[in-house]
Amino acid sequence: MAKAIKIAAPAPAERRAALAGQELSAAGVTLAVLPPAERISLRAPDASIAALSKALGVTLPRKPKTSASRAGRTALWLGPDEWLVIDEAEKDPLADCAKVTVLHSAVGISHRNVAISVTGPAAATTINSGCPQDLSLGAFPVGAASRTILGKVEIVLLRTAADTFRVECWRSFSDYVFTFLSEAAGDAAA
């Protein structure tokens, strides 16, 4: 019987991200699976926003369909009390929130989501193959963020530049999303 606490020190388990490194180039648009990032789903009432913003170092946006970004960390408004916080600077937003005592819920979802970048002049057309939202710069400007639909799955869409979007989806849907975008990219280029 193994009763004692075993302190083993094996090599840490290898991280195998879904679709790691996949890319596709078509005329006018390039798709790339982005490297892993730290992510939390943050939920909080209005009264907690200031303290959480301070702890995270980025002001949580209050306006629908917007995002805020600072030092490699982006907070996307997903709902009136819901933000997706993505950290690409290898810092841990979950740990930052753990220090905050005001009412909130922070849950780690770094491995739940996979991000795909869609970039190039045909990026919006590519996404519009399956996304029913108006993605013109007037309706969906740089920095706009929204949970929405792509084909038959849910995605979170963030416009990071006039011709660049970040598409976030759940891990097991990433194959579908990448395949969908690949097919759409070919058509958008045609």
Partner 1 sequence: MIAAFRIPGAGRLKQAETARFSFDGQSYSGVEGDTLASALLANGVHLVGRSFKYHRPRGFLSAGAEEPNALVEIKRDAARKTPNVRATVQELYDGLTAQSQNRWPSLSFDVGAVNDIASPLFSAGFYYKTFMWPKAAWKNFYEPKIRAAAGLGVAPDQPDPDHYSARFAHCDVLVLGGGAAGIAAALAAAETGVRVILADEQADFGGSLRFESGAQIEGQDGFAWAQAAVAKLRDMDNVRVLSRTTAFGYYAQNFVGLVERVSDHLRNPGGELPRERLWQVRAKRVVLATGAIERHMVFADNDRPGIMLASAARTYLNHYGVAVGRNVGVYTANDSAYAAAIDLKKAGVDVAAIIDLRDNPTGPVIDEARALGIEVNFGRAAIRAGGKLRVSSMTVQPKNGGGERTIPVDAILMSAGWTPSVHLFSQSRGKVAFNDETKRFVPGTYAQDCVSVGACNGTDGLSATIDEAYAAGAKAAKDAGASVVKGTKPKVDASESWSRGMLGAAPGAGPDTTVKAFVDFQNDVTAKDIRQAVHEGMHSIEHVKRFTTNGMATDQGKTSNMHGLAIAAETLGKPIPQVGLTTFRAPYTPVTFGSIIGHARGPLFDPTRKTAIHPWAEAQGAVFEDVGQWKRAWYFPKAGEDMHAAVDRECVTVRKTAGLFDASTLGKIEVVGPDAAKFMELLYTNPWEKLEPGRCRYGIMLREDGFIYDDGVVGRLAPDRFHVTTTTGGAPRVMNHMEDYLQTEFPHLNVWLTSITEQWAVIAVQGPKSRDIIAPLVEGIDMSDEALPHMSVREGRICGVPTRLFRMSFTGERGFEVNVPADYGQAVWEALWAEGQKHGACAYGTETMHVLRAEKGYIIVGQDTDGTVTPNDAGLDWAVGKKKTDFVGIRGMARPDLVAKGRKQLVGLKTKDPKVVLEEGAQIVEDPKQAIPMKMIGHVTSSYWSENCGRSIALALVAGGRDRMGETLYVPMPDGTIEVEVTGMVFFDEKGERLNG
Partner 2 sequence: MLLIRCPYCEEERPELEFRNAGEAHIARSANMAGETDDDFEKFFFIRSNPKGIIYERWRHMHGCARFFNAVRDTVSDKFLMTYKAGEPKPAKLPGAAK
- The footprint of partner 1 (CB under 8 A) covers 1-3, 5-18, 26, 36, 41, 43, 45, 81, 103, 105-113, 125, 128-134, 136, 139, 151-153, 170-173, 175-176, 179-180, 183-184, 186-187, 189-190
Pick between residue 20 and residue 139 the one whose CB is nearest to partner 2.
139
Q: 20 near 33, Cβ under 8 Å?
A: yes
80 forms part of the interface with partner 2 (CB under 8 A): yes
- Those residues whose C-beta lies under 8 Å from the C-beta of residue 9, and which sit 6 or more positions away, are none
Alpha carbon separation from 40 to 30, 94, 98, 137 (Å, rounded):
27, 6, 12, 28
Alpha carbon separation from 53 to 46, 69, 89 (Å, rounded):
11, 11, 17
DSSP 93-155: HHHHHHT--SS-EEEE-TTTEEEEEEESTTHHHHHTTT--S--STTTS-TT-EEEEEETTEEE
80 binding partner (options partner 1, partner 2, none; Cβ < 5 to 8 Å by kind): partner 2
Q: Which of 39, 65, 73, 166 touches partner 2 (CB under 8 A)? A: 65
66 forms part of the interface with partner 2 (CB under 8 A): no
Pick between residue 58 and residue 184 the one whose CB is nearest to partner 1.
184
154 forms part of the interface with partner 2 (CB under 8 A): yes
123 forms part of the interface with partner 2 (CB under 8 A): no
141 forms part of the interface with partner 2 (CB under 8 A): no
Pick between residue 27 and residue 139 the one whose CB is nearest to partner 2.
139
